[in-house]
Structure 1
Amino acid sequence: MAKPEENTVSLSRTPLYILAQELKARLTSFGGWEMPVQFSGITTEHHAVRNAAGMFDISHMGKFTLQGKNLINQLQTLVPSDLSRLQSGQAQYTVLLNPEAGIIDDIIFYYQGENSAGEQQGVIIVNAATTNKDKTWLLQHLDTTEIKFQDLSPEKVLIAVQGPKAVAYLQPLVKADLTPVKAFGHLETTVLGKPAFLARTGYTGEDGFEIMIDPEAGIELWQNLLQAGVIPCGLGARDTLRLEAAMALYGQDIDDTTTPLEAGLGWLVHLDTKGDFIGRRILERQKAAGVQRRLVGLQMQGRNIARHGYQVLSAGTVIGEVTSGTLSPTLNYPIALAYVPTQLATVGQQLDIEIRGKTYLAVVVKKPFYRSPTRLTT
């Protein structure tokens, strides 16, 4: 979800860093963290997730808990999605918006219902590079006399187990039956006898769970899954997997200058069922008048790969740039995302990508590029 970045200052490390070292993972700087980019190889790890199961250390991501009697109503003013529809055990992928309807971050809100005191409870997971920014924004806009906000980011490990066999590998270690949990469902249970929060969410386009747990138990969980045959995966495979599924990467495909309607996230915008929220008026105008640009999927008509930042042309004129691009390991051809003028965003539209001074043909295609036959839907 967050954009890799070069960092000359000291990098943070997750509690699972030592395990990555033991496995001789190749490491990289990412959002202020030193993280594994690959273990056995990006293609190997990618196919493991598509065909069986892989696991990712995503402990660098921000983890917040919130509770208060008016929690949902307060959060409603910060996102374009209608959170009042959520039942306990359900979650919503959504975005925090600035007054211009630009995306501060994309997040997942997990609603946990009411506690014995009648307070609504929830968990918010945010991107690593934007954790401090998001925390500041939330604390500025929530009434902290009503809402208790806790930042668990440094206290918890987060492991994603993804793939068609993810549940089969994970179930023997989990007390609760995972079978009835729906996509974007979540629960609190025990893993290896230790308290844990499990959510049927992920960033790969496959079925699977994300597990939030104490560091010592997280290390034990990783080691058990490794022994069982789950393939450790790094940020490289996480990127190719999410791009095949056309999932946005914050800092590249979406940022504080892009609106959800421009980014193809209109399904998150519930103008008809909720009241006022930050950025609403901008989205109302965009919906009425139509957006000027859209994030589209591109398929290269050859083996050349369109990378982030490459220019997109039409009839020799630069009309946009690539936000993400790779050679799809599953499809075996190059794919990319790019913002282009709305009139050129039609499926089948031919465009050119400039690569090292030459132009190469690309065609606008429907997103996602790949849809897993085994992935659960909400």
Structure 2
Amino acid sequence: MTDPALPRGSAVPRETPLAARHRALGASFTDFGGWSMPVRYTSDLAEHHAVRTAAGLFDISHMAEFTVVGADAGAFLDHALAGRLSTLPVGKAKYSLLLAESGGIVDDLIVYRLGDEEFFVVANAGNRGPVSAALFERAEGFEVTVTDDTDAFALIAVQGPVARSVLGATHGLGEEERPLEELPYYAATRARFDGAPVLIARTGYTGEDGYELYVGNDRADDLWEALTAAGAPLGLVPAGLAARDTLRLEAGMPLYGHELSLDIVPAQAGLGRVVAVDKDDFVGKAALESVVATEAPVLVGLVSEGRRAGRAGYAVLGPDGEVVGEVTSGALSPTLGHPIALAFVAPALSAVGTELALDVRGTRIPATVSPLPFYRRTK
């Protein structure tokens, strides 16, 4: 195994390789997961609508990346994660969960299989430490090498209906092992940008089609500039975390620290399908088999009328005004034009169509349990 190169504790947020570019574009910044990240460039709404109608350009270099290589790579990930990764075809990706022994969620991840004995694991920025510790500890006894490569990569996302056209027009980007027009959703291909290696993944966190490009830190600024030049005539705009949050909320995608935590087991968050319960064993399996959670709150979508949205921490009220749950994420949906929220509520009140209410700063706002996702792209 390779020792993880974790950053030393510091009160100063880290910057991505594109920080100077964001400042030049007039971005506003926020501390997110220990990183100084662009929250917006111009307008949250404009950036959100650009992704839904054309494309947005995101810097998500704060994400954590780990390389797993070795004869036991697949077996190790089957043990370490809740999903079955050993059968994942080369070139494909899979959403999975890293569970604690208690069955709670340490993090949600995307795993790419890059070769017969090579996997690439992408975790959330704020969970780099716990994920790193878990992977290195769980690798004991397996013929596998785990490397924390977070500091080696920048990650740029192009999301939206014209994303493929943007990449196709980007000067210097090419030599894909698999043509982009043949790359299915949740798949990846190695490519080149001006001779430098790039991994292009057809994945995202917005509910739109799009791509995530992993490139060495030293080439990140040049790639951002090339994507911008290619995409500007097509409607591409830089987009920050504020738009990314409303986009993922409309798409019903969970955010760690809001819908996912060590106190939540997968079934509560609607992620039971991610767990390969038929595997012989994996970390957290015994706890999941022994948990009796019939009364544990479950995640639902809520829609309401008007303009006042429930926010994280707001109470969900039952028919008699009693507190029956709590909002984890909420916003006035830019695409749909009405408030939406994700919330944990009592199972007996989780059926689609159930009439509830939100306590929005002392005002009772009617809300209805809705199917997820709130928004689904049409093609």
Give the shorter-chain TM-score range: over 0.9
Please state if 1:32 is matched with 2:34: yes
- Distance change in 2, residues 1:58/1:367 (3 Å): same
TM-score (norm 2): 0.92
Q: How does 1:19-168 map to 2 (within 5 A)?
A: 19-114=21-116, 120-143=117-140, 146-168=143-165
Deviations 1:208-244 (A, max 9, x none): 1111101232111111122221210000000000000
Alignment partners' CA distance in 1, 2:220 and 2:106: 30
Give the number of aligned pairs.
Answer: 361
What's the counterpart of residue 4 of structure 2? none
Greater displacement, 169-178 / 133-142: 169-178
Where 1:238 maps in the other structure, the secondary structure is: helix
CA distance in 1, matches of 2:86, 2:146: 19
Deviation at 1:275, TM superposition (A): 1.5
SS of residue paired to 1:77: helix
Question: Which residue of 204, 208, 229 maps to 1:202?
Answer: 204
Name the residue aligned to 1:328.
Answer: 333
Provide, for residues 99-145 of structure 1, a one-character-per-residue CA deviation record: whole Å limited to 9, x for no partner: 1210000001111222xxxxx10100000011111101111111277
Query: 1:129 is paired with a residue of what secondary structure?
Result: helix
- Which residue identity lines up with residue 237 of structure 1 in the other structure? A
Shift of 1:193: 2.8
Name the CA distance, whole Å, in 2 between partners of 1:204 and 1:145: 36
For the residue of structure 2 that corresponds to 1:240, the secondary structure is helix
CA contact (8 A) 1:175 1:193 kept: no
CA deviations on 1:132-186 (whole Å, 9 max, x unpaired) are 1110111111127721121111111100111111011012332222111111101
Give the residue type in structure 1 aligned to 2:175: K
1:317, distance to aligned residue in structure 2 (A): 1.1
Structure-1 residue corresponding to 2:346: 341
Q: Give, in whole Å, the separation in 2 of the partners of 1:328 and 1:291.
A: 30
C-alpha change, 1:112 and 1:144, in structure 2 (3 Å) is: farther
1:56 alignment partner, SS class: strand
Kindly state the Cα deviation for residue 285 of structure 1 after the two structures are TM-superposed.
4.3
> 293, 299, 306: which one pairs with 1:302?
306
Q: What amino acid does structure 2 have at the position aligned with 1:244?
A: E
Distance 1:299 1:354, change over 3 A: same
Checking the alignment, whether the CA contact within 8 Å between 1:76 and 1:83 is kept in structure 2 is yes
- Partners in 2 of 1:96 and 1:299 — Cα distance? 30
The separation in 2 between residues aligned to 1:294 and 1:351, in whole angstroms, is 15
Name the structure 2 match of 1:218.
220
8 Å CA contact 1:184–1:201 kept in 2: the answer is yes
Q: What SS does the aligned partner of 2:266 have? A: coil
Deviation track 1:220-278 (CA, whole Å, cap 9, x = no partner) reads 11111222212100000000000000000000111111011000112202213x21112
- Structure 1's 183 and 45: CA in aligned 2 closer, same or farther, altered over 3 A? same
Gaps of 5+ in 1: 1-6, 115-119
Q: CA deviation at 1:281?
A: 2.8
Find 1:279's aligned residue among 284, 291, 301: 284
What's the CA shift string for 1:340-359, capped at 9, x where partnerless?
01110000111111111121
1:6-25, aligned counterparts within 5 Å?
A: 9-25=11-27
Letter in 1 for 2:136: L
CA RMSD of aligned residues (A): 1.6
Identity %: 42
8 Å CA contact 2:99, 2:106 repeated in 1 = yes
Question: How far apart are the structure 2 equivalents of 1:124 and 1:340?
Answer: 32
Between 261-270 and 140-149, the greater mean CA deviation after superposition: 140-149
Cα shift at 1:290: 4.3
Give the Cα separation in 1 of the matches to 2:300 and 2:154: 34
Structure 2 counterpart of 1:165, which letter?
Answer: V
Q: Name the TM-score, length of structure 1 as normaliser.
A: 0.92
Q: Decide which of 229, 239, 253 is 1:247's aligned counterpart.
A: 253
Counterpart CA distance in 2 for 1:56 and 1:241 is: 12
Q: Helix, strand or coil: the match of 2:80?
A: coil
- The answer to whether the Cα contact below 8 Å between 2:61 and 2:154 also exists between their aligned partners in 1 is yes
Cα deviation 1:32-69 (Å, max 9, x = unaligned):
11110001211111111111111100001101111010
Residue 4 of structure 1 is matched in structure 2 by none
Partners in 1 of 2:361 and 2:227 — Cα distance? 43
Contact 1:78 1:277 in 2 (8 A): yes
Equivalent-residue separation in structure 1 for 2:204 and 2:108 (angstroms): 13
Contact 1:300 1:306 in 2 (8 A): no
Aligned to 1:3: none
CA displacement, residues 316-336 of structure 1 (integer Å, 9 cap, x when unaligned): 111111000011111011100
The 3-state SS of whatever aligns with 2:200 is strand
Q: Distance in 2 between matches of 1:133 and 1:187?
A: 28
Give the Å deviation of 1:289.
6.7
